Amino acid sequence: MARKIRERGTRYQMVKTRISGAQAASLLFLSRMFSLLIAPSGGREGRVGGGLAALAALCSFLFQLALFFPGWLLMKRHPGQNFAEAVTGCLGKLGKLISLLLWALLVLLAGMSAAEFDRFLVSAVYEQAPKMLFALLFLAAAVYGAWLGLEAFGRYAYFGLTIFLVLAVSLCFSLAGDFQAGELFAQTSASVSSFWRTAWEMAAGDAEILCFLLLLPNLRGSAPSGTGSAPVGKRLFFTWNGLYTLAASGFILLTVGVLGGSPSMGHSYPFYTLACAAEGQLFARTDAVHMSMWGVLGLLRCCLLLYCGAVCLRCTATVSSGKNPFMDWVASHRTAVTAIAAFAAAVFLAGSPQGLNAFRAAWGDGIPLILVLAVLPAAALASGALASVKSVKKKKEKPGHEQNL
């Protein structure tokens, strides 16, 4: 009887940590959209505007595909393992250090998301509100969601996607009369380097690719052994990232057509300004409704980042059977350790505009993402190939050695 109860508990835990491809696509799409909708103004010099910005958003998919491809090859070579497990397995002790760095990066991104939302509310909506209040409340809800598990906030993504689609359609209909097609051709010429720089910057913050590679073994569409992970992963990437690229291009077109100019210049938060300008048939003002929607999207994003952070920490901290009590405690409380670190990051970034701007600028350059999604898989694949070559040489040398004896 006790054995049956344990088996049922094991099956239940497997279900709670596995999600469908549709849930994963919804979750990753909404998480990526939060970064677009909450982005403040302050675009860099040399970025293209007008309709060219929407075209650059479409071309950014090529950069996203280039960032995805090395990690996908690594997943194909190591079926059944997530990104951190594959890197750790190939690089050994160095891989554990890299997993720890991935954990720190995801924790910083979760803290930055909470700080960005706090900054948005304090500067654009509730100017008299105390700083850090919204960031801490926001992150507390995200920690609870991550503690509930992947399947819980994966199902919640369906609700968020429904709300997003309804409000996006209502926003488009509300602003249809204010749309000026001539604004799309305000900038009809730009240098090739400026165009591709804009496209790269739109793809450079795609942390969801890393999250996707970490969640790949948890998809119900792939067997636990991982035999179907690569094909399922490739289709899923084209689904959610393709939808995001189309949605980003559409929102840029709408913003430029209604507000004019570049989508990142002239307004504190261009998409919030767009919502303030909308007057729907059901709502006299839709800005508060859209603000709530961005809160739902940000909650899902932080849940995703915290959960993936705990996954990376699992590859670094393992139970050592009493040899290292501190690491044993960390391994047993991965979610709590990740939450504490995320709160510390949120407090620092929300209280330090300079720190938040510096981290945003470093992340926007795309260098951290290149190191994670291009250099790490290349190093892991090279290490695996080198180990295979050494193994083949040993097998060839062994018969000759025995013959000489």
The pLDDT value recorded for residue 108 is 92
| Mean pLDDT, rounded, for 351-379 | 84
The pLDDT value recorded for residue 115 is 87
Assess whether pLDDT exceeds 90 at residue 380: no
Assess whether pLDDT exceeds 50 at residue 267: yes
Check residue 322 and give left, alpha or beta (phi > 0: left; psi -120 to 50: alpha). Answer: left
CA diameter of the chain: 92
In a domain, 351, yes or no: yes
Assess whether pLDDT exceeds 70 at residue 268: no
Assess whether pLDDT exceeds 70 at residue 43: no
The pLDDT value recorded for residue 127 is 66
CA 23 to chain CA centroid, Å, is: 15
Assess whether pLDDT exceeds 80 at residue 240: yes
Assess whether pLDDT exceeds 60 at residue 11: no
Which residue has better confidence, 272 or 206? Answer: 206
Q: How far apart are CA 300 and CA 184, in angstroms?
A: 33
The pLDDT value recorded for residue 332 is 77
The pLDDT value recorded for residue 2 is 38
| Mean pLDDT, rounded, for 216-241 | 68
The pLDDT value recorded for residue 177 is 76
Q: Give the chain's domain count.
A: 1
229 with 222: CB under 8 angstroms?
Answer: yes
The pLDDT value recorded for residue 279 is 60
- Closest to 34 in 3D by CA, of 355, 303, 356: 303
In a domain, 213, yes or no: yes
In a domain, 40, yes or no: yes
Assess whether pLDDT exceeds 80 at residue 233: no
In a domain, 62, yes or no: yes
CATH code (residue 152): 1.20.1740.10
Distances (CA, A) of 48 to 63, 197, 363, 389: 17, 9, 20, 48
**What's the whole-model pTM score?**
0.85
The pLDDT value recorded for residue 305 is 93
Confidence of residue 13 (pLDDT cuts 50, 70, 90): very low
Percentage of the chain with pLDDT > 70? 75
In a domain, 404, yes or no: no
* HEC profile of the chain: CHHHHHHHHHHHHHHHCCECHHHHHHHHHHHHHHHHHCCCCCCCCCCCCCHHHHHHHHHHHHHHHHHHHHHHHHHHHCCCCCHHHHHHHHHCHHHHHHHHHHHHHHHHHHHHHHHHHHHHHHHHHCCCCCCCHHHHHHHHHHHHHHHHCHHHHHHHHHHHHHHHHHHHHHHHHHCHHHCCHHHHHCCCCCCHHHHHHHHHHHHCCCCHHHHHHHHHHHECCCCCCCCCHHHHHHHHHHHHHHHHHHHHHHHHHHHHHHHCCCCCCCCCCHHHHHHHHCCCCCCCCCHHHHHHHHHHHHHHHHHHHHHHHHHHHHHHCCCCCCCCHHHHHHHHCHHHHHHHHHHHHHHHHHHCHHHHHHHHHHHHCCHHHHHHHHHHHHHHHHHHHHHHHHHHHHHHHHHHHHHHC
The pLDDT value recorded for residue 403 is 47
| Mean pLDDT, rounded, for 241-269 | 77
Model pLDDT for residues 104-114, shown as the tens digit of each residue:
999 999 999 88
| Mean pLDDT, rounded, for 225-234 | 55
In a domain, 399, yes or no: no
The pLDDT value recorded for residue 14 is 36
Assess whether pLDDT exceeds 90 at residue 307: yes
Assess whether pLDDT exceeds 60 at residue 372: yes
- Closest to 23 in 3D by CA, of 221, 157, 218, 223: 157
Residue 269: domain span: 22-218+230-361
Token pair of 185 as six digits: 């051709």
175 with 277: CB under 8 angstroms?
Answer: yes
One-letter amino acid for residue 345 of the chain: A
Q: How far apart are CA 355 and CA 350, in angstroms?
A: 9
197 with 47: CB under 8 angstroms?
Answer: yes
Q: Tell me which of 20-24, 52-56, 70-74, 223-227 is least confident.
A: 223-227
For residue 289, the tally of other CB atoms under 10 A from its CB is 18
Model pLDDT for residues 122-156, shown as the tens digit of each residue:
776 666 666 777 788 888 888 988 888 888 888 88
- Closest to 38 in 3D by CA, of 246, 276, 268: 268
Q: Tokens 């690089």, residue? A: 91
Assess whether pLDDT exceeds 50 at residue 6: no
Token pair of 296 as six digits: 């739902």
Confidence of residue 263 (pLDDT cuts 50, 70, 90): low
In a domain, 385, yes or no: no
The pLDDT value recorded for residue 293 is 79
Distances (CA, A) of 259 to 104, 129, 168, 179, 386: 38, 28, 17, 8, 56
Assess whether pLDDT exceeds 60 at residue 69: yes
In a domain, 392, yes or no: no
